Amino acid sequence: MPSSDLIVHRPEGLYCPPGDFYIDPWRPVSRAVITHAHSDHARMGSAHYLAHTDSAGTLRNRLGADIALQTLAYAEVIDHHGVRVSLHPAGHVLGSAQVRIEHAGQVWVASGDYKLEDDGTCPPFEPVRCHTFITESTFGLPIYRWPSQPALFADINAWWAANAAAGKASVLYAYAFGKAQRLLHGVDASIGPIVVHGAVEPLNAVYRAAGVALPPTLRVTDPGLTKADLKRALVLAPPSAAGTPWLKRFGEHSDAFASGWMLVRGARRRRGVDRGFVMSDHADWPSLQKAIGATGAERVIVTHGSTEVMVRWLCEQGLDAQVFKTEYGADDNEDDANTMVPSAPAEEPGTQPEAAP
Ligand SMILES: [Zn+2]
Ligand SMILES: [Zn+2]
């Protein structure tokens, strides 16, 4: 690998030699730049953290209130050992950022995780021109194409309204940080009350504090909540709440799971829910191609997801492409990576996504 590379792979994580810092390291380091607060990208134990201002709440929540944290606004530039560092919207979750690094005439961008469609809960993805782009590829297979936001929420609202009319609660499982708030922001709150699990509400509070409009949410223990209310309610819970006593309070209910993996029938069946809504905070296959093209990068490094398929496609486009083996990739698999990885569809031989670590 040429010694002029601005980011190299080290056992601790992705390292910037001239700046002497890491991006989303998976082991404790002295200086860490964090793209976003999902647990596989933001880990405990580093001496100093740099992240976007809107990541402060979730990072302190997860890594400890007393971490040494420096924050930047989007596009604000700092100079660190002669390396210009700035953060740019990734459109993934609140505070998510691409990291732009400039040194000796070279520009590298590390994407962290990203998606292109604006969901209203964080500033949308902005392409940043660079020589080398480090991208995720969580859903980097041609089968992954997301429905539009309006189509997705029309489906969810229709499911909720039909259950409410039938006197059944609608239990919707979704990742507690990012997905749950995106669902709250997008659903039609006039259909009925919204009840959230205890794992979801602290993150709602962080989003509200950052100025994101979320409808009122109730806890199941709320004294004002009647049995009749529960039969019309939308219930947002992390997947780990499935099968727990907490769910018994809702009696007979319909359940659904919101995830990009729901596009694949096998994943839906293994989850054992009534409905699957195809919803991801990662880019789908066309968006990955569009985002990579918009950077103008000649060299692309793929960090996680369907890395081999993506590298093959990039090489076919005439780009210099390679893989960095990282420890990212758990955030769209929640607590159950094995059951969430779909089998390769018959028409796409040899394109089975790799299991998340
Ligand atoms: Zn993420
Ligand atoms: Zn990731």
pTM for this model (two decimals): 0.91
Give the mean model confidence (pLDDT) for residues 300-321: 96
Which residues lie near ion ligand 2 (Cβ < 5 Å)?
113, 328
The model's confidence at residue 272, banded by pLDDT at 50, 70 and 90, is confident
For residue 337, pLDDT beyond 80: no
- Could you tell me which residue, 329 or 139, shows the higher pLDDT? 139
The model's confidence at residue 353, banded by pLDDT at 50, 70 and 90, is very low
Helix (H) or strand (E) holding 203: helix 201-209
Is residue 257 classed as helix, strand or coil in its secondary structure? strand
For residue 303, give the ligand nearest its CA.
Answer: 2
Distances (CA, A) of 324 to 124, 216, 269, 300: 26, 42, 32, 10
For residue 239, pLDDT beyond 70: yes
CA-CA distance, 173 to 275, in Å (whole number)? 10
Residue 271 CA, ligand 1 centroid: distance in Å: 21
Residue 331 CA, ligand 2 centroid: distance in Å: 6
Residue 92 CA, ligand 1 centroid: distance in Å: 7
Is residue 23 classed as helix, strand or coil in its secondary structure? strand
DSSP 320: E
CA-CA distance, 137 to 155, in Å (whole number)? 27
Contact at 8 Å (CB) between 108 and 298?
no
Q: What percent of the chain has pLDDT above 70?
A: 92
The model's confidence at residue 264, banded by pLDDT at 50, 70 and 90, is confident
Distances (CA, A) of 208 to 34, 93, 182: 22, 13, 12
Dig out the tokens for 195 from the structure.
Answer: 């009840």
Q: Which residues pair with 115 in a beta bridge?
A: none
